[in-house]
Amino acid sequence: MTTSYLGTKLALACASFLAFAGLTAFVGAREREAGIQAGAPPVAASGVVAADDQGASISVPADQQTPTPVARTRGT
Amino acid sequence: MDFDPHFYWYVTRASGMVAFALLTLATGLGLAVTSRLSDGLLNRPWLFEVHKFVSLLALAFIGLHLAVLIPDSWTDFEPIDLLLPGPSPYRPLAVAMGVLAMYGAVVGAGSFYIRKRLDRRTWRALHYAMFGTFVLALLHGVYAGTDSGEAWMRLTYFMTGLAIFFLAVFRILAAPLLRPEPSGTPTALSGGAARNMRAH
């Protein structure tokens, strides 16, 4: 019966981790898609990833970035 | 492949969702155990062990939910914002509810390990407080969550809230009408689990 408990716990832990990994990928994909579509991708701490005319990601040099006051405006 | 600068933000959102789902499951299992709703379908001692484990798992994801907020420069939370209710500059009330829910979850999960030192009344009071923890976590998610505006997330909150509400009403109204527990525990599996069940 201890084996049964252990199996259940392992299954729950694995399912939780898989859900977590899937949700992380899901919200990340949605954010990237929304950022590119809006033309205003989120500001990173050390640079900006923007989209060129073809939709490919390009790096914008720090001195050409438009400051975006995003800090403390995003939720969890 | 470049490291996504918002990876921490995605992780905290996903871990918050999973923590909430596990907290809902833990609350629901606790209600199912005490109301005997699942008797005949599931083994009560087994259900109690799962209830205990899911509470700990929820706590682990709550820890992750908080831990990744510290290095995340996108959300810009300070440790004090996450440990005390109030100082957060981002939606202080909603974050405060999350902080209180975290402490509630800590107390709930920790109570399993100090159960022998608690009398039955205190044990029950602590577990009734888990309803408050669930409600606080729900409100925190609704009002602080980035994804709360999404239809799928709203549906999740609605369905989980409804499920716990139904189980709580059943526990309060219907459980006293159920047959009394027999002196023996016919479904008992092992000594430890049976002892936990009797104390619950």
pLDDT of residue A12: 94
The shortest CB-CB distance from B74 to any of A8, A12, A42 is to A42
The shortest CB-CB distance from A76 to any of B7, B16, B73 is to B16
Residue A66, pLDDT > 60, answer no
Give the tens place of pLDDT for each residue, B124-165.
Answer: 888 888 889 999 999 999 999 888 888 999 999 999 999 999
pLDDT of residue B1: 54
Helices H, strands E: what count in chain A?
Answer: 1, 2
Using alpha carbons, select from B63, B95, B62, B69 the residue that is nearest to residue B8.
B69
Find all residues with CB under 8 Å of B7, minimum gap 6, and list them. A24, A28
* C-beta atoms of A32 and B4 within 8 A: yes
In the DSSP assignment, the letter for residue B189 is -
- Name beta bridge partners: A29: none
Quote the pTM value: 0.76
Number of domains in chain B: 1
pLDDT of residue B175: 65
Find all residues with CB under 8 Å of B43, minimum gap 6, and list them. B187, B189
Q: To the nearest whole number, what is the mean pLDDT of chain B?
A: 83
- Region B47-65: mean pLDDT is 93
Q: Which residue has the higher pLDDT, A61 or B154?
A: B154
Number of domains in chain A: 1
Chain A residues whose beta carbon lies within 8 Å of the beta carbon of residue B23 = none
What is the span of the domain harbouring residue B82? 7-174
- Chain A residues in contact with chain B using a Cβ-Cβ cutoff of 8 Å: 1-2, 4-5, 8-9, 12-13, 16, 19-28, 31-32, 42, 44-47, 49, 70-76
Is residue B144 within 8 Å of residue A75, measured between CB atoms?
A: yes
Residue A52, pLDDT > 50, answer no
Residue B198, pLDDT > 50, answer no
The 8 Å CB, 24+ separation contacts for B70-74 are: B71/B8, B72/B8, B72/B9, B72/B12, B73/A44, B73/A45, B73/A71, B74/A42, B74/A44, B74/A45, B74/A70, B74/A71, B74/A74, B74/B5, B74/B6, B74/B8, B74/B9
pLDDT of residue A38: 45
pLDDT of residue A74: 56
Residue B1 covered by a domain: no
pLDDT of residue A75: 60
Give the tens place of pLDDT for each residue, B160-191.
Answer: 999 999 998 888 887 677 655 554 444 434 44
pLDDT of residue B118: 85
pLDDT of residue A2: 61
SS3 at position B75: coil
Residue B191 covered by a domain: no
Residue B56, pLDDT > 80, answer yes
Residue A64, pLDDT > 70, answer no
Label residue A49 by pLDDT band (50, 70, 90).
very low
pLDDT of residue A3: 61
CA distance A70 to B99: 23
ipTM of the complex: 0.80
What is the span of the domain harbouring residue A44? 2-61
Residue B141 covered by a domain: yes
Residue B27 covered by a domain: yes
Residue A68 covered by a domain: no
Residue in this structure with the two tokens 């100082």, named with its chain if needed: B87
**Residue B52 touches partner A, C-beta closer than 8 Å:** no
Is residue B127 within 8 Å of residue B105, measured between CB atoms?
A: no
Residue A12 covered by a domain: yes
CA distance A12 to B40: 22
- Region A2-17: mean pLDDT is 87
**Residue B9 touches partner A, C-beta closer than 8 Å:** yes
Q: Looking at the complex, report in whole angstroms how far the Cα of residue A74 sits from the nearest Cα belonging to chain B.
A: 6
